[in-house]
Each structure stands twice: as structure tokens, then as C-alpha cells.
Chain A
């Protein structure tokens, strides 16, 4: 065991210069700083003759495939979604985000790959030589329509989008003629924590008159801290928050998916309130949430009060005022108050992610005595 109390010695103490041998506050006076011992440089170092660079990235081989009958060539390792977007095709996505690992759970990006038994998620399926992809076949359109109807009947997607190109549920519903109401009127919501208390495998389909209603994930908003709220009535289980909290960015692992089937939900360990969980309030889950389920408390309160007005907001790119990392932040300002902070995904410093100080530490500029 280490012991801080052990007296220290120096192996070559005799040769040691002793600027601090005396009492610490009685250091000898000097008119100006003494030059640093040893060589004093006053000439700038020579410049390198070449500009230093990163080693060249290996050039991946090109892969040729057919998308909707057109032959395209993309670098090996690309996904079908990459290839489609390079062609300017608008593939719907909900759970996909450029700075997260695809988890292919929402299934709205599915495409038909000729010869494959099932539809493939474009966001994660890698291209292969000679692949033939149909992005808007009847089978694809039907699948997307049903996915959007199931989601729309059970989840409040009113705030899902427009966030081009990801997550504009209303536009996708229109495009595919999805009608969530065909599953019936929404059933009554759950009480607070009722869904969290359900045991895996104990879900029973409703019987009687209830069976004519569409089951929903409706439940009260979770407000347990001053920084952000969780409205799981709006959660489509896209996993983005779990990814951002986990390996893709923050590596805190405060949240995961609990439960199975229709009872699956995002949860802290044992549904603990956030202040009792591992959460460190980086807010990167809010940054990636496509449906407004996770929201700044400031935005939530303003929406409740009816004062949230995006048309009256400006967004200004600047740099976080805290540590020396220099994170790019976008300040959303309404009525001369910062109401929200985000970070652009294309920043090489942040890749869209911030910490608690960058995300929430702006209040000092909002405090006004005038």
C-alpha cells in the first residue's frame, strides 16, 4: 500500500538546485523574472520543410451495384443508404444518424435486395458487387407503410421531424399513404411508472371492448431534474439515446432498453430517477433524439407555457466558454435568452456531442439584473 506520509528523498540531492529550500513565502526578490535556467531561446524554431499530414487513407476498392435499375459505383464498405444518398435518393430513416452506429431497428429504411428472402435495412447493409436494389418497390412501400402505421398508432410522433434528412414521420406517412387510425382509436395511457413495472413475458393483448382500441405507449412525462425531461409517449425505441449514452459517444451507459415486445422501453437501471442513476447530464441523448421524447427542461417549460416559438429563434454558431477542447456550439436564442444548445455533427471537435457544461452551462449569460 502506498503511503503519502513517507518522507521524500532525492537520489542526487547534493546536486539539486534548491530554489525552495527556505520558507515558501520568503522567496528572494528579483526585479524582473530571472531567465529560465539553462539556454534561453529568443529565436523561433526552424520551420519544417514540408507540411505535416496524416498518412494517406487506404483507397477502398469500388463496388458496382444496381439501384432501381441504374448502375452505380461506390467505395467498398459503404452501406446501401450511403449509395442511395450519393445518388440523391430520399430513403426514409428514423433510427439512423451519421454519428452513431446503425442499429437497424425502425425498419423504415428497408429496401428490396434481389434474391434475398427478406427486406434489408439500407442503413446497415453493406453494398456487394453486382447487388440489385429496389428502393421503392411495392413490397418496400407496403412494409414502410405498415411500419409507419404501427408506430403512428402507438407513439406520439407529432414532433418527429422535420429534421432533414432523418426522421420526418409526417412526411413519410403522407408519402406512403400510411393511416395509423385504421388500428382504432388510441387506448387509454398508462399511469406513471406502470409500463416500467411490467414484467417481461407478462404482456397480454387486450380483450373485450379494449381490443378495438390501438395500444399505445402513452404515459406521463418524467420530470425528475432541472436539465432535461423524458416524454416516453414520444419514444419510438430508435436506440439513438442508448447509443449516444453508450459506446458511440459518452460511454456512461446510464440507459438501456428494458422489457420485451410491446413493453420494451428506455430505462435507467431499475427505472431509477435520473439523479439516482449513472447519468452525467451530457445531454447527448437529447441531441440525437428524433422525436422530441428527450427535451431540454427549458424548452419543455416554454412549450407548456405556450411561449416556445421557433420562428422567433436565432441559431448562432460559436465556441463553448469552458475547457480548452473548444467545442462548437449552436446557441438557440429567443427573446435574448439562450433556450437550447446543440452541436453540429460535422464539427471535427465534437462530432455533435457535448458535456454537461457545454450543453447546460449557459445560464450565466441568461441571468440578468436589468
Chain B
């Protein structure tokens, strides 16, 4: 089950592996508002309306329960809170789900039965699940399906978020999360925190900090005055660009450490030129399958740029702490001391084994191919896996007569995020930004390929050419975030963030479209929305 993921374009080499499975007879169900190039490979495409994922997932759960296909042995032994879940999904009938998601009831029923009766089954998702105001609930709804069927903790089964950046997993693993220390250790667990304090010889705040969106909200309240940004371009990557810019400009001090002079760096007080971590310095990154792999220095950086580690060591030294000479391996060995899950991963073993999947508890441990196998032990060691009763909650940016069209955002194959990296090479596939629109809507608005339109949301307005895309259904449009210097898509998007993950609802913006007469003024000139909006 590929849910809210266009892996064919966003994780192409993962999709090679997936296609091997398809060629070996695996069935593929794609759940996505768009009939993407990934969905084209699916046995069944379930084209749901943006933000109706929980309605669909709960209906799948209800159908599995009513058809007697739930794995009761597994539920009884390894899970908790099933009764609350059963009661919650009871109202999510196939008829309700068809009405709410736009997916035919028969397709929902087929998927429910196929998933529940499969020998092995997997759910993979990407930002179609997590870039919503109820992102965590969306994930919980999928976890429920795995627990209901026992498709978890077994070889060839499970739930798998396909991570979007080459080290986003590693960043979290290293403790770049508000509530965790390296190795996912909870900062609010006194004994775990005290152990780190004794290794580091310093005091660690006993309560969790803010996640990214929490920091931005704290700026509004005047509680956050200074920001140190490393390898991030929030000016262009955050939802609601006008609001983001106002917040960043309101800071007393901002330092940006990056390999590019990004739009964020341009408004910083201090810019620290860094090196490209994958080609100009040593270290490790952790991929989507939890595999820690070595990155190595292949070339010298530009002469004024400095390794990230060197910069951080130097900042520490100027603050009065001498950590000595910066060495990636020495820092890694400290990670191994602090994080039990990384303990067995010496550089030597990482080299010899071509990377190791955490957890790797000691020098003999081979790393683990999949997680949660403890759920198949009897009795289950530790806590049982809880069901979470969650409800459908449609996107915050409601469709109305003034804003009747749904805009969703994503990536294209040859480009990446705000385009600062991928903009460096000329791709024959690249056509620049466009508002992709269904043939039906194009006809309704009298639009042809290349016509320019003004796109307006409740937060702002931009101009862009249109491109007719038959993978879109009526009422659904698509843009990327790749060409923000030309078309600032995030002027439109809403910063309705999930209270648990802090992720904004990039996937669901309500817009209206107005055709512009040719010829047009300068491309992508941002316009504020009229005050009345």
C-alpha cells in the first residue's frame, strides 16, 4: 500500500525495489489524490480527496473487522485499546467513506480484503500523510491498520515512512528533536538524561524544547529572539511566506550556516559558509531504512568555507569551551557512547558491512532488518502496541465559493525542495513552475497549456503559467516548491500546523484561479491578496 507517496519520482531507487516486487507478483495499491507516475504501476489506484485519509483508513479498519479478517490472536496478545478503536471506526461505513473520500466503496472493500488477507503486507507513506494539520493522526490511522492485521514486526511486512532527505532520519536519531537525546532517548526521562549529563559534564534542560513550528510561534510571542539556522531555508520552505518573512525579520539576531547564500541567508546578520556534507567532509548519514552509511570527503571546499564540525567547535571555543581538534570519527565515537542503539557501529564495521541498520547494540550485533519483532513474542516484552482512535478532520483551508479549488504541493523527479541544490544542473525534464490543472477545469476556465493565471489563496496571490495534467481530477491542482525565486508557491500555503509534529498543511490550500491576459508582467511577481480576503 503506497499512501500519499509518489515514490516513482521522489524515491526513484526505492521504487526500483518496489517494481521488482510488482514483477514478482506483489499487488500494489496506490492511495493518492493524483494519479501519479507511481499510481500508474498500481493494481488499483484509490484517488481520494485531499485530507480525507483518516476517513479512508477508518473505513478500511471497519471493513476488516466486519468481514472477520482482523488478526484477533495478535490483537489480544500484542496490542491495547482495541475496543476504543473498534467503537471509533464503527461509524465509518463504506458508504460514508465513499461520500467523504470520493473513492468508490467497492475499491475500499477490495483494498481492505486484499490487505487483511495478504501473507505479507506493507504500508509506505510520504508527505501526503504528514503534511497535514492532523499529520500524526493520519500516521496513527495507518498504524491501526497494521496492528489490526498483524502486518508489523515481521519480515516483508510493516509500516514505513519514506524519508525525504538523505539524513533527515539521522538528524532525528542524533537528537535534533525537541524531546530526544541522541539515540531517541527521552530528555524527560531522568535516568537517561542524567547519564548524558554525566558523559558531557553539563546540565541538560529537563523539559522538551520547541519544534520548528513551535519556534516560529514563539517568535510571535516575543519569546524567541535569536535563531541559528544550519542547512535550512525557511524563508522559502515554510508555509505562508509573508508570515515567515515577518517573523524572521523580527528577530534580534539570525545566523545562517549553509553552503548557499539562500533567501534565508540573505536576511541573516551573520552567514557562516559551510561545506557540502556529502562530498567535502567526513561523517555519516542515516537513510530511510535506518542504515547508517559513511559520507566521505571527495574534494576540497571553496577556500572560505569550513566544515560544519569545525564551525561548531570554533563557536564553542569562542564561547569558552575547548573541545580540541574537530574530527568526525571522534564525534561519532561519542555518539556510540551516548546512544546505546549506535554502540556497535564503529567506522571500521560501517565500512566492512556497507552500513548498518540501527539498533546495533554491540560490536557483534549485525543491526536489525526490521523493528517491532518483539510483538510476536509470547508474552510480549514491554508495553503492548496501542491502537489510537482518531477521527477524520478535513483540511483547515476550507473550500468555499470564493476559494473553490484545492491546491496540493509536491516534488518532481529532477528537482528537490526549494531548488537550491537541484537548480545547479540543467535538466532536460525541467519546465519551470506551473499550476497543473485537470483537463476538465482547464476547459471550464478556458485555459490552454502555457496560459498565465493569477492564483489566490486566503494568504496571498501569485502568477504562474498553467499546465494541463490528466493525472489530476476536477477541482484538484498541483504545484511544487522548486522554483521559489520565480514563483513563490509558499505565499499561498497555510501554516496550519499539526500540534504534535509541527508540520504545516502544505498539501491542502484553497485557491481561486483567474486567467490573465497575455502579455504578462514579470514572471512570478508576488502580489498581496486584497485586504478584503
Q: Which of B103, B155, B211 has the most chain A CB atoms closer than 10 A to its own CB?
A: B155
- Contact between A326 and B293, CB atoms less than 8 A apart: yes
Assuming the A-B contacts A3-B475, A319-B166, are A281 and B427 also in contact, with contact meaning beta carbons closer than 8 angstroms in the complex?
yes
CB distance from B276 to the nearest CB of A (A): 5
CB distance from A360 to the nearest CB of B (A): 5
Interface residues of A in 321-349 (CB under 8 A from B): 321-328, 331, 333, 336-338, 346-349
Contacts of B405 in A (CB 8 A): 4-5
Pick from B406, B413, B421: contact of A355, CB below 8 A.
Answer: B413
- Contact between B217 and A27, CB atoms less than 8 A apart: yes
Give Cα A49–Cα B378 distance, bound, in whole angstroms: 11
When C-beta atoms are compared, the residue in chain B nearest to A350 turns out to be B13
Give Cα A36–Cα B177 distance, bound, in whole angstroms: 14
Contacts of B232 in A (CB 8 A): none
Give Cα A279–Cα B413 distance, bound, in whole angstroms: 12
- Contact between A324 and B166, CB atoms less than 8 A apart: yes
Contacts of A174 in B (CB 8 A): none
When C-beta atoms are compared, the residue in chain A nearest to B502 turns out to be A33
- Contact between B102 and A2, CB atoms less than 8 A apart: yes
Assuming the A-B contacts A2-B49, A5-B404, are A337 and B474 also in contact, with contact meaning beta carbons closer than 8 angstroms in the complex?
no
| Cβ-based interface call for B278 (8 A) | yes
* Cβ proximity bits A178-215 to B, threshold 8 Å, 1 near / 0 not: 00000000000000000000000000000000000000
| Cβ-based interface call for A115 (8 A) | no
CB distance from B189 to the nearest CB of A (A): 4
| Cβ-based interface call for B317 (8 A) | no
- Contact between B16 and A361, CB atoms less than 8 A apart: no
- Contact between A4 and B496, CB atoms less than 8 A apart: no
| Cβ-based interface call for B27 (8 A) | no
| Cβ-based interface call for B185 (8 A) | yes
- Contact between B294 and A318, CB atoms less than 8 A apart: yes
Give Cα A358–Cα B14 distance, bound, in whole angstroms: 13
Pick from A4, A27, A274, A279: contact of B49, CB below 8 A.
Answer: A4
Give Cα A258–Cα B388 distance, bound, in whole angstroms: 57
Assuming the A-B contacts A52-B370, A321-B276, are A331 and B298 also in contact, with contact meaning beta carbons closer than 8 angstroms in the complex?
yes
Give Cα A32–Cα B293 distance, bound, in whole angstroms: 34
Interface SS, A side: loop
- Contact between B302 and A363, CB atoms less than 8 A apart: no
Contacts of A333 in B (CB 8 A): 298-299
When C-beta atoms are compared, the residue in chain B nearest to A15 turns out to be B391
Stretch of B280-288, B307-315, B445-453, B460-468 on the interface side: B280-288
| Cβ-based interface call for A117 (8 A) | no
| Cβ-based interface call for A103 (8 A) | no
* Cβ proximity bits B419-455 to A, threshold 8 Å, 1 near / 0 not: 0111111111100000000000000000000000000
| Cβ-based interface call for A236 (8 A) | no
Give Cα A54–Cα B280 distance, bound, in whole angstroms: 36
- Contact between B377 and A323, CB atoms less than 8 A apart: no
| Cβ-based interface call for A247 (8 A) | yes
| Cβ-based interface call for A46 (8 A) | yes
Pick from B136, B296, B359: contact of A317, CB below 8 A.
Answer: B296
Give Cα A47–Cα B382 distance, bound, in whole angstroms: 8
Number of A-B contacts (CB under 8 A): 309
Contacts of A45 in B (CB 8 A): 374, 382-383
Contacts of B280 in A (CB 8 A): 365
Pick from B153, B163, B374, B392: contact of A10, CB below 8 A.
Answer: B392
- Contact between A357 and B354, CB atoms less than 8 A apart: no
Stretch of A17-25, A71-79, A149-157, A285-293 on the interface side: A17-25
- Contact between B428 and A324, CB atoms less than 8 A apart: no
When C-beta atoms are compared, the residue in chain B nearest to A367 turns out to be B424
Contacts of B276 in A (CB 8 A): 321, 364-365
- Contact between A51 and B368, CB atoms less than 8 A apart: yes
Contacts of A275 in B (CB 8 A): 428
When C-beta atoms are compared, the residue in chain B nearest to A2 turns out to be B102
| Cβ-based interface call for A280 (8 A) | yes
- Contact between B287 and A322, CB atoms less than 8 A apart: no
Give Cα A370–Cα B300 distance, bound, in whole angstroms: 12
| Cβ-based interface call for B399 (8 A) | yes
| Cβ-based interface call for B297 (8 A) | yes
CB distance from A260 to the nearest CB of B (A): 28
Contacts of A336 in B (CB 8 A): 299-300
Contacts of B528 in A (CB 8 A): none
- Contact between B279 and A324, CB atoms less than 8 A apart: no
- Contact between B217 and A325, CB atoms less than 8 A apart: no
- Contact between B293 and A319, CB atoms less than 8 A apart: yes
Assuming the A-B contacts A3-B474, A247-B23, are A11 and B392 also in contact, with contact meaning beta carbons closer than 8 angstroms in the complex?
yes
Give Cα A25–Cα B493 distance, bound, in whole angstroms: 12
Pick from A50, A250, A323, A363: contact of B425, CB below 8 A.
Answer: A363
CB distance from A325 to the nearest CB of B (A): 5
12 A-B contact pairs sorted by A residue (CB < 8 Å): A2-B47, A4-B49, A4-B405, A4-B474, A10-B391, A33-B214, A42-B189, A51-B366, A316-B297, A323-B10, A337-B299, A347-B354
List the 5 closest pairs (A to B, CB-CB), nearest first: A46-B382, A326-B287, A324-B163, A4-B475, A364-B424
Given contacts A4-B473, A325-B288, 8 further A-B contacts (CB under 8 A): A2-B102, A20-B393, A44-B192, A317-B296, A322-B421, A353-B13, A361-B422, A363-B425
Residues of A within 8 A of B (CB): 1-12, 15-16, 19-20, 24-25, 27, 29-34, 36-39, 41-55, 225-227, 247, 249-251, 274-275, 279-282, 314, 316-328, 331, 333, 336-338, 346-351, 353-358, 360-370
